Amino acid sequence: MSAPRPDIADLLEVDVPPDGKVITVSDLHLPPARTDVSARSCEMLAGHLAAESGSALTVVLAGDVIELLGSPGSTATDILRPHEDLCAALLDVTAHGGQVIYIIGNHDSDLAWDVKAADAVREMTGARLCLAADLILAGGR
């Protein structure tokens, strides 16, 4: 019997509402210990997300958000917990009807096969995980 696999879409089609806004960020490389740089990155992004709370928001985390490759032995939870301000801001986006899309990159590729890690990211950020995403805008792609 094969091991369970996380529910990760190869290609996720994401409908963006006609009045929606898209914010995309990549390569945060969040480490397991909060640093001045990771703290500032999370604070700035959380601030931008809070400023958009009234709009139909789509947040695309476009790869290498958490640094699993360079942090052997660390889990997704170990990395996200010190960056809870960003996690809370992302959960707030989904609580207000927005969507968070997490495209897996090469430094967080464990999320594609590690069920526990993928579930932790979903739970802590509200994100849908995928390997690639097509944003479908009003009137086209």
Query: 90 phi and psi, to 5 degrees?
Result: -70, -45
Q: What is the pLDDT of residue 7?
A: 85
Q: What is the pLDDT of residue 139?
A: 77
Using CA atoms, how far apart are residues 116 and 113, in angstroms rounded to an integer?
9
Question: Mean pLDDT throughout 64-74?
Answer: 92
Question: Mean pLDDT throughout 59-65?
Answer: 96
Q: What is the pLDDT of residue 53?
A: 73
Q: Does residue 5 carry a pLDDT above 70?
A: no
